[in-house]
Structure 1
Amino acid sequence: MNNEITNEIATAFDSDLKDAVKPFTGERNSVLNGGLDDWLGESINTATAHYSGRGVFSRFSAKEVNDTILASDVKLICLQSEVSDTPQIDDVINGFRVVAINKDPADVSYTIQLRQV
């Protein structure tokens, strides 16, 4: 069933939703060596991982805005199978910081809450 839903949405992304679907890139900075400073204590070794996908960017409805969702936050809906890595909180996608990530019950899509950096 998961594959059927994924294929249906992917087909919609390629046809009916084609104009609304936009590519995105994400990046995650990870601290290496347990976060310990180098022997001089001047820097922390980090690595940046990049990933990409495509999805529909929109706003949250007035009903969704609450203590954790701001009116200025952006909603990204994307297929899990089309994202090259799993997004995580504090990643940066197209210049927005990932605040929250939710999966649908069928494990087909992510709904990602993004906030201006």
Structure 2
Amino acid sequence: MGLRDDIQADLAEAFDDDLADAVSTFTGTYMGPGVWDPVSETTTAQPVTYTGRGVLESYDSRRIDNINIKVGDVLLICLVNEVSDKPMVGHEITAPDLVTGEQAAYRVESVSADPAAAHIEIQMRKS
């Protein structure tokens, strides 16, 4: 078992036990490949949906610069092996709102992974 597998196993165990109350499921969507018809201005692209689970948190107020990180941005930390597709900038993610707990739509602003590629951090902004 390599370092990445060890990290993912430990984090998955924490998600199931210690962090179970903080873990939320989410759904991501983006438009798949298709052909654009400029005459009718329609496309054959169909939405692609993926799922996963992770921990949502607000950014520390000292990190908010209103350029890269804005007030209201949310950080989603999830395991790479528990997300059924690769989140990318521009995708829409539906996850619980941190204040109300109701489902909210977010736009992915940035995605980064740790050096072992065990988890990803997704910066999201309400759309």
TM-score in terms of structure 1 length: 0.91
Q: 1:31, 1:14 → 2: CA distance? A: 35
Aligned to 1:105: 115
Which residue does 1:2 correspond to in 2?
4
Runs of 5+ in structure 1 lacking a partner? none
Alpha-carbon distance, 1:96 to partner: 0.4
The answer to whether structure 1 residue 16 and structure 2 residue 15 are counterparts is no
Counterpart CA distance in 2 for 1:10 and 1:83 is 12
Cα drift, residue 30 of structure 1: 3.1
Aligned residue pair count = 114
Q: Distance in 2 between matches of 1:20 and 1:42?
A: 43
3-state SS of paired residue (1:41): coil
Secondary structure in 1 aligned to 2:46?
A: strand
**In 2, Cα distance between equivalents of 1:72 and 1:88:** 20
Pick aligned residue for 1:116 from 114, 123, 126: 126
Residue type matched to 1:44 in 2? T
* 2: CA distance, partners of 1:27 / 1:86: 11
The TM-score normalised by the length of structure 2 is 0.84
CA distance in 1, matches of 2:29, 2:21: 25
Question: 1:113 is matched by which residue type in structure 2?
Answer: Q
Q: CA RMSD in A?
A: 1.3
Shift of 1:31: 4.7
